Structure 1
Amino acid sequence: MAGITSALCCVFYTLQPRKVLSKYSSTNVMGWSMLFGGIFISCFNNPLDIPGEINLYTLSAILSMILFGTVLAFCFYLKSLDYLSPTEASILTVGEPLCSIILSLIFLNVTFSSIELMGAVLILSTVFILAKAK
Protein backbone atom coordinates (compact mmCIF):
# COMPACT_ATOMS: atom_id res chain seq x y z
CA MET A 1 0.00 0.00 0.00
CA ALA A 2 2.86 2.38 0.81
CA GLY A 3 4.37 1.82 -2.65
CA ILE A 4 1.16 2.76 -4.44
CA THR A 5 0.67 5.79 -2.19
CA SER A 6 4.25 6.87 -2.88
CA ALA A 7 3.75 6.51 -6.64
CA LEU A 8 0.53 8.53 -6.52
CA CYS A 9 2.24 11.29 -4.52
CA CYS A 10 5.11 11.35 -7.04
CA VAL A 11 2.65 11.76 -9.90
CA PHE A 12 0.81 14.49 -8.00
CA TYR A 13 3.86 16.60 -7.14
CA THR A 14 5.18 16.26 -10.69
CA LEU A 15 2.02 17.20 -12.56
CA GLN A 16 0.18 19.50 -10.15
CA PRO A 17 2.60 22.48 -10.01
CA ARG A 18 2.89 22.94 -13.80
CA LYS A 19 0.45 25.88 -13.92
CA VAL A 20 1.85 27.47 -10.78
CA LEU A 21 5.44 27.14 -12.04
CA SER A 22 4.53 28.90 -15.28
CA LYS A 23 3.43 31.91 -13.21
CA TYR A 24 5.83 31.84 -10.21
CA SER A 25 9.45 30.82 -9.70
CA SER A 26 10.29 27.39 -8.33
CA THR A 27 11.89 29.04 -5.29
CA ASN A 28 8.63 30.79 -4.37
CA VAL A 29 6.60 27.62 -4.91
CA MET A 30 8.99 25.60 -2.74
CA GLY A 31 9.13 28.23 0.00
CA TRP A 32 5.37 28.55 0.36
CA SER A 33 4.85 24.79 0.03
CA MET A 34 7.34 24.03 2.79
CA LEU A 35 5.90 26.74 5.02
CA PHE A 36 2.32 25.46 4.72
CA GLY A 37 3.45 21.83 4.90
CA GLY A 38 5.43 22.57 8.06
CA ILE A 39 2.46 24.32 9.65
CA PHE A 40 0.17 21.42 8.72
CA ILE A 41 2.46 18.70 10.08
CA SER A 42 2.98 20.75 13.27
CA CYS A 43 -0.68 20.10 14.05
CA PHE A 44 0.23 16.41 14.50
CA ASN A 45 3.85 16.55 15.74
CA ASN A 46 5.25 19.20 18.03
CA PRO A 47 8.39 20.50 16.26
CA LEU A 48 9.86 21.60 19.60
CA ASP A 49 9.56 18.13 21.16
CA ILE A 50 13.01 16.87 20.16
CA PRO A 51 14.32 13.74 21.87
CA GLY A 52 18.00 13.69 22.68
CA GLU A 53 20.58 16.39 23.04
CA ILE A 54 20.82 19.37 20.71
CA ASN A 55 24.38 20.54 20.23
CA LEU A 56 26.27 22.19 17.39
CA TYR A 57 26.91 18.85 15.64
CA THR A 58 23.29 17.68 15.66
CA LEU A 59 22.01 21.13 14.73
CA SER A 60 24.38 21.33 11.75
CA ALA A 61 23.38 17.79 10.67
CA ILE A 62 19.67 18.65 10.84
CA LEU A 63 20.15 21.92 8.95
CA SER A 64 22.26 20.15 6.30
CA MET A 65 19.54 17.54 5.75
CA ILE A 66 16.89 20.24 5.49
CA LEU A 67 18.88 22.43 3.11
CA PHE A 68 20.60 19.87 0.88
CA GLY A 69 18.33 16.85 1.20
CA THR A 70 15.01 18.64 0.92
CA VAL A 71 15.00 22.29 -0.13
CA LEU A 72 17.68 22.22 -2.82
CA ALA A 73 16.67 18.76 -4.06
CA PHE A 74 13.05 19.78 -4.63
CA CYS A 75 14.01 23.19 -6.06
CA PHE A 76 16.23 21.46 -8.62
CA TYR A 77 13.50 18.94 -9.37
CA LEU A 78 10.88 21.64 -9.92
CA LYS A 79 13.29 23.67 -12.06
CA SER A 80 14.00 20.59 -14.17
CA LEU A 81 10.32 20.57 -15.17
CA ASP A 82 11.10 23.71 -17.22
CA TYR A 83 13.38 21.60 -19.41
CA LEU A 84 11.95 18.07 -19.16
CA SER A 85 8.53 16.56 -19.50
CA PRO A 86 6.99 15.22 -16.28
CA THR A 87 7.49 11.68 -17.59
CA GLU A 88 11.21 12.22 -18.20
CA ALA A 89 11.67 13.88 -14.82
CA SER A 90 9.91 11.07 -12.95
CA ILE A 91 11.95 8.42 -14.79
CA LEU A 92 15.15 10.20 -13.80
CA THR A 93 14.10 10.20 -10.13
CA VAL A 94 14.53 6.43 -10.19
CA GLY A 95 18.28 7.08 -10.12
CA GLU A 96 18.07 8.52 -6.61
CA PRO A 97 17.79 5.23 -4.70
CA LEU A 98 20.43 3.65 -6.92
CA CYS A 99 22.79 6.53 -6.20
CA SER A 100 22.10 6.00 -2.49
CA ILE A 101 23.01 2.33 -2.83
CA ILE A 102 26.30 3.11 -4.59
CA LEU A 103 27.25 5.84 -2.10
CA SER A 104 26.35 3.55 0.83
CA LEU A 105 28.60 0.83 -0.59
CA ILE A 106 31.50 3.24 -1.10
CA PHE A 107 31.37 5.49 1.95
CA LEU A 108 29.50 3.53 4.60
CA ASN A 109 30.72 -0.01 3.79
CA VAL A 110 27.13 -1.27 3.79
CA THR A 111 26.56 -4.75 2.46
CA PHE A 112 23.41 -5.63 0.56
CA SER A 113 21.72 -8.97 0.28
CA SER A 114 20.97 -10.63 -3.03
CA ILE A 115 17.29 -9.64 -2.82
CA GLU A 116 18.22 -5.97 -2.44
CA LEU A 117 20.61 -6.15 -5.38
CA MET A 118 17.92 -7.91 -7.42
CA GLY A 119 15.58 -5.00 -6.60
CA ALA A 120 18.19 -2.55 -7.92
CA VAL A 121 18.45 -4.57 -11.13
CA LEU A 122 14.66 -4.53 -11.50
CA ILE A 123 14.58 -0.76 -11.03
CA LEU A 124 17.26 -0.31 -13.68
CA SER A 125 15.52 -2.65 -16.08
CA THR A 126 12.28 -0.69 -15.68
CA VAL A 127 14.07 2.53 -16.58
CA PHE A 128 15.56 0.95 -19.69
CA ILE A 129 12.19 -0.53 -20.73
CA LEU A 130 10.46 2.85 -20.31
CA ALA A 131 13.24 4.67 -22.17
CA LYS A 132 13.13 2.17 -25.03
CA ALA A 133 9.32 2.45 -25.31
CA LYS A 134 9.63 6.17 -25.90
Structure 2
Amino acid sequence: MTTVTVLVSHTKWDEDRSVTTTPRVTPAHVSFTAPDIDATIQTEYLMTYLPNGNAEFIFTDVVEAKNFSGHQGSFIAQGKGTFDGKAFTVGGSFDIVEGSGTCGLEHIKGKGKVNSAKDDPHKVTYEFVVEGI
Protein backbone atom coordinates (compact mmCIF):
# COMPACT_ATOMS: atom_id res chain seq x y z
CA MET A 1 0.00 0.00 0.00
CA THR A 2 1.13 3.51 -0.83
CA THR A 3 -0.27 6.70 0.73
CA VAL A 4 -0.23 9.85 -1.39
CA THR A 5 -1.29 13.08 0.32
CA VAL A 6 -2.13 16.02 -1.93
CA LEU A 7 -3.15 19.62 -1.24
CA VAL A 8 -5.52 20.94 -3.93
CA SER A 9 -7.02 24.34 -4.74
CA HIS A 10 -10.13 24.92 -6.78
CA THR A 11 -9.63 26.94 -9.94
CA LYS A 12 -13.26 26.92 -11.08
CA TRP A 13 -16.55 26.40 -9.25
CA ASP A 14 -19.64 26.21 -11.44
CA GLU A 15 -22.74 25.47 -9.38
CA ASP A 16 -26.39 25.83 -10.29
CA ARG A 17 -27.68 28.23 -7.63
CA SER A 18 -30.99 29.05 -9.31
CA VAL A 19 -33.00 27.32 -6.56
CA THR A 20 -32.60 29.04 -3.20
CA THR A 21 -35.07 27.19 -0.97
CA THR A 22 -33.98 24.30 1.22
CA PRO A 23 -33.79 21.42 1.25
CA ARG A 24 -32.57 21.42 -2.34
CA VAL A 25 -30.30 19.44 -4.64
CA THR A 26 -27.84 21.26 -6.85
CA PRO A 27 -25.19 20.01 -9.26
CA ALA A 28 -21.73 21.55 -9.33
CA HIS A 29 -18.72 21.13 -11.62
CA VAL A 30 -15.44 22.00 -9.95
CA SER A 31 -11.90 22.09 -11.31
CA PHE A 32 -8.96 21.62 -8.96
CA THR A 33 -5.23 21.88 -9.41
CA ALA A 34 -2.87 19.63 -7.47
CA PRO A 35 0.71 20.88 -7.84
CA ASP A 36 2.11 18.16 -5.53
CA ILE A 37 1.40 15.53 -8.20
CA ASP A 38 1.29 17.86 -11.22
CA ALA A 39 -2.39 17.09 -11.69
CA THR A 40 -5.84 18.39 -12.41
CA ILE A 41 -8.96 16.99 -10.80
CA GLN A 42 -12.35 17.50 -12.46
CA THR A 43 -15.15 16.89 -9.96
CA GLU A 44 -18.89 16.51 -10.39
CA TYR A 45 -20.84 17.08 -7.19
CA LEU A 46 -24.49 16.48 -6.45
CA MET A 47 -25.10 18.54 -3.32
CA THR A 48 -28.06 18.32 -0.97
CA TYR A 49 -28.37 21.59 0.95
CA LEU A 50 -30.23 21.46 4.26
CA PRO A 51 -32.15 24.22 6.09
CA ASN A 52 -29.41 24.44 8.77
CA GLY A 53 -26.86 25.62 6.17
CA ASN A 54 -25.03 22.32 5.95
CA ALA A 55 -24.93 19.98 2.98
CA GLU A 56 -24.32 16.37 2.13
CA PHE A 57 -22.90 15.45 -1.25
CA ILE A 58 -21.84 12.66 -3.55
CA PHE A 59 -19.01 13.18 -6.00
CA THR A 60 -17.00 11.75 -8.85
CA ASP A 61 -13.39 12.86 -9.41
CA VAL A 62 -11.41 12.40 -12.60
CA VAL A 63 -7.75 12.66 -11.58
CA GLU A 64 -5.21 13.29 -14.36
CA ALA A 65 -1.69 13.24 -12.92
CA LYS A 66 1.79 13.57 -14.39
CA ASN A 67 3.51 12.45 -11.16
CA PHE A 68 1.27 10.34 -8.92
CA SER A 69 3.89 8.60 -6.79
CA GLY A 70 6.17 8.54 -9.85
CA HIS A 71 3.47 7.45 -12.31
CA GLN A 72 1.61 9.28 -15.06
CA GLY A 73 -2.01 8.56 -15.93
CA SER A 74 -5.57 9.06 -14.79
CA PHE A 75 -8.22 7.37 -12.68
CA ILE A 76 -11.71 7.95 -11.32
CA ALA A 77 -12.74 8.14 -7.66
CA GLN A 78 -16.28 8.24 -6.28
CA GLY A 79 -17.40 9.13 -2.79
CA LYS A 80 -19.57 11.06 -0.43
CA GLY A 81 -19.07 13.78 2.12
CA THR A 82 -20.44 16.63 4.18
CA PHE A 83 -20.13 20.40 4.20
CA ASP A 84 -20.36 22.36 7.45
CA GLY A 85 -21.86 25.73 6.51
CA LYS A 86 -20.79 27.48 9.72
CA ALA A 87 -17.17 26.34 9.74
CA PHE A 88 -17.00 26.31 5.91
CA THR A 89 -15.29 22.91 5.98
CA VAL A 90 -15.71 19.65 4.09
CA GLY A 91 -14.95 16.05 4.88
CA GLY A 92 -15.57 12.81 3.08
CA SER A 93 -14.33 9.49 1.81
CA PHE A 94 -14.00 7.85 -1.57
CA ASP A 95 -13.09 4.68 -3.42
CA ILE A 96 -11.05 4.50 -6.60
CA VAL A 97 -13.14 2.86 -9.32
CA GLU A 98 -11.30 -0.35 -10.20
CA GLY A 99 -10.57 -0.57 -13.92
CA SER A 100 -10.66 3.21 -14.40
CA GLY A 101 -6.87 3.72 -14.37
CA THR A 102 -4.92 4.58 -17.51
CA CYS A 103 -1.26 4.52 -18.57
CA GLY A 104 1.06 4.14 -15.54
CA LEU A 105 -1.97 4.05 -13.23
CA GLU A 106 -3.76 1.29 -15.15
CA HIS A 107 -3.87 -1.12 -12.20
CA ILE A 108 -4.54 1.40 -9.43
CA LYS A 109 -7.07 0.58 -6.74
CA GLY A 110 -7.72 1.94 -3.32
CA LYS A 111 -9.60 4.46 -1.26
CA GLY A 112 -9.10 7.70 0.56
CA LYS A 113 -10.28 10.71 2.48
CA VAL A 114 -10.83 14.34 1.63
CA ASN A 115 -10.85 17.14 4.22
CA SER A 116 -10.58 20.91 4.32
CA ALA A 117 -7.06 22.18 4.78
CA LYS A 118 -6.55 23.37 8.34
CA ASP A 119 -5.08 26.75 7.37
CA ASP A 120 -7.26 27.61 4.35
CA PRO A 121 -10.88 26.46 3.85
CA HIS A 122 -10.56 27.11 0.09
CA LYS A 123 -8.02 24.30 -0.13
CA VAL A 124 -8.66 20.60 0.35
CA THR A 125 -6.36 17.74 1.31
CA TYR A 126 -6.80 14.40 -0.45
CA GLU A 127 -5.28 11.30 1.11
CA PHE A 128 -5.10 8.40 -1.35
CA VAL A 129 -4.31 4.92 0.00
CA VAL A 130 -3.54 2.88 -3.11
CA GLU A 131 -2.03 -0.29 -4.45
CA GLY A 132 -1.33 -1.58 -7.94
CA ILE A 133 1.13 1.14 -8.92
Tell me: higher relative CO, structure 1 or 2? Use CA pairs within 8 A at least 6 residues apart.
1
TM category (shorter chain) comes to under 0.3
User: In proportion to residue count, which structure has more strand?
Assistant: 2
Which is greater in Rg?
A: 1
User: In proportion to residue count, which structure has more helix?
Assistant: 1
Tell me the TM-score normalized by structure 1. Answer: 0.23
